Amino acid sequence: MQQVYNFAAGPAVLPQPVLQQVKDEFLSYHNSGMSITEISHRSSLFQDIIDDAEKTLRDLMQIPDDYAVLFVQGGGSQQFTEVPLNLGTDNVAYIDTGNWSKKAIAEAQKFPSLKVTTLASSEATHNTTIPSVPPVSANYDYVHITTNNTIEGTTYFDLPNVGENVLVGDMSSNILAQRYNVQDFGLIYAGAQKNIAPAGLTIVIVRRDLIGKKKGLPAMLDYGLQSAKGSLYNTPPVFNIYMAGLVFHWLEDCGGVDEMEKVNRAKAKILYDYLDQSKLFSAPVKPAFRSLTNVPFVTGNAAMDQKFITAATEANLLNLKGHRLVGGMRASLYNAMPITGVTKLVHFMAEFEQGEK
Ligand SMILES: *Cc1c(COP(=O)(O)O)cnc(C)c1O
C-alpha cells in the first residue's frame, strides 16, 4: 500500500494501529464469531465496549463524576439545536469566532422564547483572532464558544472569563488535542470525525445538574433521557463507539492528552515556522491564536494555490485544499497525523517554493 498523508479536516486521518486492529478483529469480535457491526447493542459484549470507552475518556480528560458522558448521533450540528433546547430558558449568549459559531447562533435564534446575545465577534479581523470579551455580568443560561475554529484556524488557549455563567464549548476539532479543564465548562460537545472516530458519533460531556430539568423534550434530543439510559435509549452507533474506545486507548498508549499536546505543538510549530519565513506562502492567523489542529495558509494567488494543491496531491500529500469560505490551503494536523507527515509537507512546500523562484 502506498504511503499517503491525509490532511483532511474531517472525516480525517485515524491512527494506523487502530485501523489495523479493526481489520484484524472485524470478522469475529473477541472470538464471538460475529463482527462488531453485527452484535446487539444490548449484549454484554457491547456494554463492555461502551463502559470501557467512557472510562478511558474520563481518564484522558479527567472528567469528574458529576459530569455525564453521552454518546449520541446527529453530529456537532445537531448540538447547535440541543444546547439551547436543553439549557436555554430565556437568555443565551455566544461568542462569534467564525463559521461554526455563526451556525450555532443561527440555530439558537430559531427558538422564539430565547433572547440570543453575541457578546463578541472576531469578524472585524476576518476571524484571524479570538476576540476579548467585555466583563460578562448578566445572567445567561450559558455562554457558548467554539474552542477551535476548524475553518479559520484559530483556537482558545485561554478561556474567556464568563463570570458565574455556564460555559459551553464546541470542541469538535480540538477535543483531546490539547488540555482543557473540563470543570471550566458546563457542557462540551464534539463530533467524532475530526479527532476520535468515523463520522456518525457525537460526544457530549455535561454537568449533571444542568440536565433533566426540562420536561417534554423530544426524546432523541433530551440529554436527561440519554443520560438516564446510558446512551442506550435507542440503537447507538455501535461501530463508532467501538472505534472511539480503541482511539482512546491508543491515545493513552501515546502518553495521554498532555503528551499529545506536546507533539501537536511541535507539529504545528514546524509548519508555522516555515510559513513565517516563506516568501511564497503565509499564515493569516495572528500567532497568539494559531490552531494546533487546523492550519490555513495562502499564496495570495488562487491559480498558484491550485497549482500547489495539484502538485501536493501528486506527491501523496492529500486534501490540502482550504475550506471554500476562505480559499487557499489548510493542513489539518489532528492527533493521528504523524510528525513525519508535517516534515514531508514542509519539505515539499520548500521545494515547490524553490521551483517558483
Ligand atoms: C465539523 C464541525 C462541526 C460540524 O460537525 P458535523 O458533525 O458535521 O455536524 C461543528 N463545529 C465544529 C467546530 C466543527 O469543526
38 Cβ neighbours under 8 A, 6+ residues apart: none
325 burial class (0-12, 13-18, 19+ CB within 10 angstroms)? exposed
CB hemisphere CA count around 167 (13 angstroms): 21
| pLDDT at site 138 | 78
* Per-residue pLDDT of the chain in tens (357 residues, 90 and over written 9): 789 999 999 999 999 999 999 999 999 999 999 999 999 999 999 999 999 999 999 999 999 999 999 999 999 999 999 999 999 999 999 999 999 999 999 999 999 999 999 999 999 999 999 999 988 877 999 999 999 999 999 999 999 999 999 999 999 999 999 999 999 999 999 999 999 999 999 999 999 999 999 999 999 999 999 999 999 999 999 999 999 999 999 999 999 999 999 999 999 999 999 999 999 999 999 999 999 999 999 999 999 999 999 999 999 999 999 998 889 999 999 999 999 999 999 999 999 999 998
Of 274, 264, 270, 6, nearest to 155 (Cα)? Answer: 264
| pLDDT at site 9 | 97
Ligand 1 pocket test target in 155, 168, 173 with most atoms within 8 Å of CB: 173
250 included as an active-site residue: no
HEC sequence for 282-306? ECCCCHHHECCCEEEEECCCHHHHH
Q: Give the rounded distance of the alpha carbon of 38 from its chain centre.
A: 28
Question: Any idea which residue has 472528567 for its cell?
Answer: 63
| pLDDT at site 304 | 97
Cα 287 from Cα 79, distance rounded (Å): 30
Question: Any idea which residue has 430565547 for its cell?
Answer: 114
Ligand 1 pocket test target in 172, 204, 332 with most atoms within 8 Å of CB: 172
pLDDT tens string 67-85: 999 999 999 999 999 999 9
DSSP-derived secondary structure for 228-248: HTTT-SS---HHHHHHHHHHH
Cα 329 from Cα 248, distance rounded (Å): 29
| pLDDT at site 25 | 97
Give the number of the atom of ligand 1 that is nearest the alpha carbon of residue 199.
7
| pLDDT at site 264 | 98
Question: Any idea which residue has 516563506 for its cell?
Answer: 278
pLDDT tens string 120-167: 999 999 999 999 998 887 799 999 999 999 999 999 999 999 999 999
Angle between helices 238-253 and 44-61 (to 10 degrees): 40
Rounded to the nearest angstrom, the distance between the alpha carbon of 288 and the centre of ligand 1 is 23
194 included as an active-site residue: yes
Cα 111 from Cα 248, distance rounded (Å): 36
| pLDDT at site 357 | 83
| pLDDT at site 254 | 98
Rounded to the nearest angstrom, the distance between the alpha carbon of 77 and the centre of ligand 1 is 6
Nearest CA to ligand 1 atom 4: 76
Cα 91 from Cα 138, distance rounded (Å): 9
